[in-house]
Amino acid sequence: MSHERMKRMSLKEKIQARKEKKEEKKAEKKPSDSITQKNIEESREEILAKGKKFKYPFQYAKHRLMFNTILIGLVAIAAFTFVGWYQLYKAQSTSEVVYRFTKVFGLSVAEIDNIKVRFSDYLMLYRSSITSVERQQGAFDNSEESKQQKEFYKRQALNLAEDYSFAMAKLDEAGDAVTEAEIDEVIENHKLIDGEKRSNEAFEGIVRDNFGLSMKDYRRLIMLTLAKKKASIKFDEDAKKTIEEIKAVLATNSDFEKVAQQFGENSAVGYEIIEDVEATNLDSGRAEKAASLEKVGDVSDYFVSRGGDGYYIVKLLAKDENKVSYASISVRFNWVDNEMAKLRKDGHVKEKIDLNTDKAGEENNSGEAVEGDTSGN
């Protein structure tokens, strides 16, 4: 539009022209509908991706925390396992904490072929022996003599634990086991001290003071000794044959000393005279059996000792209201000891701790620990 024409245009026409020019510019800037929809979708995805870290501000920190927690836990378990292994198998700690640890985790101290020997059984036997000895002779010190005695009782406890485990396994193979009723019967007999039956609370205190054991541990100890006793009765045919032969000879000759001499070549046969003891004396049940005989000179049938060490026959020598004197012939059970000796010799017993003594404790291995003094004196 020329300058001359603009001059000739009216005011109305000028306004209309400006309006049309603005509309043309606005139309040029307006994008198409398809481009607008695409931009909206892309923009939304971009905004959502960027906004996640603001919507969940602790998500990444939580993952890192879980990873660190698991890592620390694994390190702690590994350290705990190493310390426990070292305390048990290298340092050979016998503390209360270690004892409880072995009870919880069921660790083994030795293996007899495929038979596992519980570490807790070994520590229970050792700790009960040490408690009983220290109660009688005083606490052990750091002297060389005390160290040697402790090593002796360790060896004895390990031998017993192995013998008991073997006996239990053989009893189980034969379809037999120690029952709770049998354990209860033994405990009831042990509660009878000096002719007086102790209460449960009093007896628990006696067991704790004399052996350092809880009643649960004491029941376990009795179960072990009963297992060896029952296995010996079932499998020791030599002892059964010998006691039957002695019984037959005594039927025609009641002189115990001469009969014992007749079987003197058998190292399992023993002879003894006991005088003036209480009928309740803890001597494997011999005093009680003698007291049950009617008159002097009477001879009992053979019976198994309470401690499970063998068969006994007793002859009443004297008797009054409270005390008895008797003679006894015994045939010791050797089946478990002989079988274990063969296994040890042939290398079938693998011990996981290294004790300084080899032979200590092989004597007095009859398992009569529970027949000890429970009087509390």
pTM: 0.76
Tokens representing residue 180 in the block: 């709770």
Q: Provide DSSP, 189-200.
A: HHHEETTEEPPH
37 found inside a domain: no
* Chain segment 184-242, per-residue pLDDT in tens: 999 998 888 776 889 999 999 999 999 999 999 999 999 999 999 999 999 999 999 99
pLDDT of residue 60: 57
- The reply to whether 116 and 160 lie within a common domain is yes
- The reply to whether 114 and 193 lie within a common domain is yes
Terminal CA-CA length for the chain: 135
- The reply to whether 147 and 170 lie within a common domain is yes
- The reply to whether 269 and 174 lie within a common domain is no
- The reply to whether 212 and 305 lie within a common domain is no
345 found inside a domain: no
- The reply to whether 162 and 283 lie within a common domain is no
Domain end call among 235, 268, 295: 235
- The reply to whether 140 and 231 lie within a common domain is yes
Q: What is the dihedral of CA 105, 109, 113, 114, to 10 degrees?
A: 0
- The reply to whether 188 and 251 lie within a common domain is no
**Residue 25 scores a pLDDT above 70:** no
State the Cα–Cα distance between residues 93 and 78, nearest whole angstrom.
19
- The reply to whether 226 and 243 lie within a common domain is no
Domain of 144, CATH number, reads 1.10.4030
376 found inside a domain: no
285 vs 18, which has greater pLDDT?
285
135 found inside a domain: yes
C-alpha pair distances (Å), 145 with each of 99, 123, 128, 364: 25, 21, 19, 20
Domain count, the chain: 2
* Chain segment 99-127, per-residue pLDDT in tens: 998 998 889 999 999 899 999 999 999 99
340 found inside a domain: no
- The reply to whether 141 and 261 lie within a common domain is no
Domain end call among 219, 235, 251: 235
180 vs 93, which has greater pLDDT?
180
Cα 359 to the center of its chain, rounded Å = 25
pLDDT of residue 187: 94
**Residue 12 scores a pLDDT above 70:** no
**Residue 30 scores a pLDDT above 90:** no
Domain end call among 176, 206, 235: 235
Tokens representing residue 86 in the block: 């070292």
325 found inside a domain: yes
100 found inside a domain: no
Question: What integer best gives the mean pLDDT of the chain?
Answer: 84
- Does residue 112 sit in helix, strand or coil? strand
H helix runs in the chain, sequence order? 3-8, 11-29, 33-55, 59-85, 96-105, 119-137, 144-173, 180-191, 200-211, 215-235, 237-250, 256-262, 286-292, 335-345
Q: What percent of the chain has pLDDT over 70?
A: 77
Residue 303: domain span: 237-332
375 vs 180, which has greater pLDDT?
180
* Chain segment 355-372, per-residue pLDDT in tens: 865 544 444 444 444 554
Beta-carbon contacts of 17 under 8 Å, excluding residues fewer than 6 positions away, are 1, 9
pLDDT of residue 182: 96
* Chain segment 331-351, per-residue pLDDT in tens: 999 999 999 999 999 999 999
The strand pair at 108-112 and 303-304 is best described as unpaired
C-alpha pair distances (Å), 60 with each of 19, 56, 70: 57, 9, 16
State the Cα–Cα distance between residues 253 and 203, nearest whole angstrom.
43
pLDDT of residue 349: 96
* Averaged pLDDT, 168-180: 96
71 found inside a domain: no
- The reply to whether 144 and 248 lie within a common domain is no
- The reply to whether 228 and 328 lie within a common domain is no
